[in-house]
Structure 1
Amino acid sequence: MTRWIELDGVVNMRDLGGLPTLHGGRTREGRLVRSDNLQDLTPQDVARLVDEVGVTDIIDLRTDVERDLTGPGPLTETSLAHHHLSFIDEGRHPGAAPSDADTGRDALVLSHGDPDRGTPGFWTRHYLGYLHQRPDSVSGALGIIAGSRGGAVVHCAAGKDRTGTVTAMALSVAGVPDEEIIADYAASGERIRQIIDRLIDVEPYKWGLQGRSLDEQTPRPETMEMILRTLEDEHGGATGWLRQQGWDEDRLDLLRARLLG
């Protein structure tokens, strides 16, 4: 894969340009970038994202707890537009206790009582929970991508679950075939060791990672297959889901145009 963006401060960043569409075109480079946590970016990393990649908007999908514990990050010192849209209904997400620690654990899915923990079905239920419980944040993130002046970086902590849900929906609206969306989702598995190594000793993520296996956190193609199939069967795809959130055709076309140019 040549879409990886190699920086010192991240391990799971890639440009979603260059993907084929069902209509014979390709997604534009520098329009949508997905990433893990941006807290460790170096000054050189920041300069590359701004000056070379052309990033103008940062879409942060982490919870308030995550942001408070890890700090603001170096990009907040730039003129980039920052948007915070938590995907987790803090204190009310299934299995989450009302304490800060438990809210942080839930961000990376610690659920000792679930016998299916780590399976594609488990992750599918978790991702669909974003759509059911925080449709405002999911729709809002996609709206920011559609309206960004330049490149938009979508990130959470690991850059695979919350970020993967948003980018999959954006690519689906743009007409990228399911198999390409699934392959991009699964690509984070190539760097799962580095992803977990970045987070395993960091509050609040260590609560959900220490003592757990890499296999439980590795993204599986079957998970995204189930997400896309559920969206199609229950909502008429990502476009149908967005229509149910109040999007009209002009707004859908704006998202497509942003990604396709």
Structure 2
Amino acid sequence: MNARSRWIDLDGAVNVRDLGGLPTTDGGTTRRGRVLRSDNLQDLTVADIRTLVDDYELRDVIDLRSEAEVRLEGPGPLTRTPSVTVHGLSLFAEGGRYTDVAADQPAEGTDGIDIDKVLPWQTRPDNAPAQDRPISHYLGYLEDRPDSIVAALRVMTRPTGSALVHCAAGKDRTGVVCAFALDVAGVTREAVVADYAQTGDRLDAILTRLRASGTYADDLDSRPADSHMPHAYIMEKFLARVDERFGGPLEWLTSHGWDDEDTAALRGRLLGG
């Protein structure tokens, strides 16, 4: 299976793909129809839902958006599908009405959403080098919500149907959670990085969708499109930092309550028959 065949074409979402077909370090590949990844699901049509539920046996949705995003954008049509369970697992430290660490100082016009954390731009001026901005945000997800990351991977281990993980663009928060899952499953580091970067193939369509939402539009319009590109080196450097600081994704998970049974279950779902 080539990488392009992993795309799932829907009318109401543009960054949807199957994590099946990725090479593992032992020469195998991940299984199709077990874990999917996506941008936000607010615009799914009836036909889209039928595709996900009937063709991919979707049973669980892992929604990584913040409480504020869900409030502003809505929970999405899959919450009205009885056979699907939606798990709200924000990667931000929720603070009452607002989100993230700066809960008491929301960005103007965003109703408490810190857009730099939701969609961490690569070129906004900062004390750190521009290319390190998203990496620092990704590490912030680990610091702020280890409980959500562990819970998200445990949802992926459920024995029936498929699970779909998403955020707003399906790039940063989704990219981190999927990278951890794939790494634990034994996918090659090269393939983990390539899957992250593949979102760039749909970047124009992703930005068009987000610009149609008042939640994200103003901030998106203030930056050039290329500044949002998920370059491979971002994920490479992030995973290298995780290796250096924690010993790797599995070791980080273990330090937050993940155990050998969880690992076996995740590998069984992503690799087993």
Normalising by the smaller structure, the TM-score range is over 0.9
Aligned residue for 2:5, secondary structure, equals: coil
CA RMSD between the two structures? 1.9
Q: Cα gap change, 1:95/1:216 in structure 2, threshold over 3 Å: closer, same or farther?
A: farther
Q: 2:85 matched to which residue of 1?
A: 81
Whether contact under 8 Å (1:108, 1:208) holds in the other structure is no
Q: 2:153 matched to which residue of 1?
A: 142
CA distance in 1, matches of 2:45, 2:114: 25
CA distance in 1, matches of 2:74, 2:259: 37
Q: 2:5 matched to which residue of 1?
A: 2
CA distance in 1, matches of 2:6, 2:12: 17
Q: 2:126 matched to which residue of 1?
A: 114
Q: Cα gap change, 1:240/1:204 in structure 2, threshold over 3 Å: closer, same or farther?
A: same
Whether contact under 8 Å (2:68, 2:112) holds in the other structure is no
TM-score, normalization: structure 2?
Answer: 0.89
Is structure 2 residue 66 aligned with structure 1 residue 63? yes
Q: Deviations over 1:71-107 (max 9, x none)?
A: 1211111120110001112456356653352425242
Letter in 2 for 1:209: L
Whether contact under 8 Å (1:87, 1:134) holds in the other structure is yes
Aligned residue for 1:147, secondary structure, equals: coil
Q: CA deviation at 1:201?
A: 3.3
Q: CA deviation at 1:206?
A: 1.8
Is structure 2 residue 203 aligned with structure 1 residue 200? no
Q: CA deviation at 1:46?
A: 0.2
Whether contact under 8 Å (2:35, 2:163) holds in the other structure is yes
Q: Percent identity?
A: 46
CA distance in 1, matches of 2:91, 2:58: 22
Q: Cα gap change, 1:95/1:215 in structure 2, threshold over 3 Å: closer, same or farther?
A: farther
CA distance in 1, matches of 2:264, 2:178: 16
CA distance in 2, matches of 1:121, 1:98: 24
Q: Deviations over 1:219-244 (max 9, x none)?
A: 01001001111121222211111110
CA distance in 1, matches of 2:73, 2:257: 34
| Residue of structure 1 aligned with 2:45, choices 42, 45, 68 | 42
Q: CA deviation at 1:165?
A: 0.3
Letter in 2 for 1:53: Y
Which stretch shows the higher mean deviation, 22-31 or 227-236?
227-236
Q: 2:258 matched to which residue of 1?
A: 247
Is structure 2 residue 197 aligned with structure 1 residue 186? yes
Q: 2:55 matched to which residue of 1?
A: 52
Structure 1 residue runs of 4 or more that deviate by more than 3 Å after TM superposition: 90-100, 109-113
Aligned residue for 1:158, secondary structure, equals: coil
Q: CA deviation at 1:108?
A: 2.0
CA distance in 2, matches of 1:95, 1:120: 22
Is structure 2 residue 167 aligned with structure 1 residue 164? no
CA distance in 2, matches of 1:168, 1:54: 23
TM-score, normalization: structure 1?
Answer: 0.93
Q: 1:30 matched to which residue of 2?
A: 33
Q: Deviations over 1:140-191 (max 9, x none)?
A: 1111112252110000000000000000000000000110011110010111
Whether contact under 8 Å (2:99, 2:113) holds in the other structure is no
Aligned residue for 1:230, secondary structure, equals: helix
Whether contact under 8 Å (1:63, 1:88) holds in the other structure is yes
CA distance in 1, matches of 2:124, 2:243: 31
CA distance in 1, matches of 2:125, 2:85: 40
Aligned length: 260
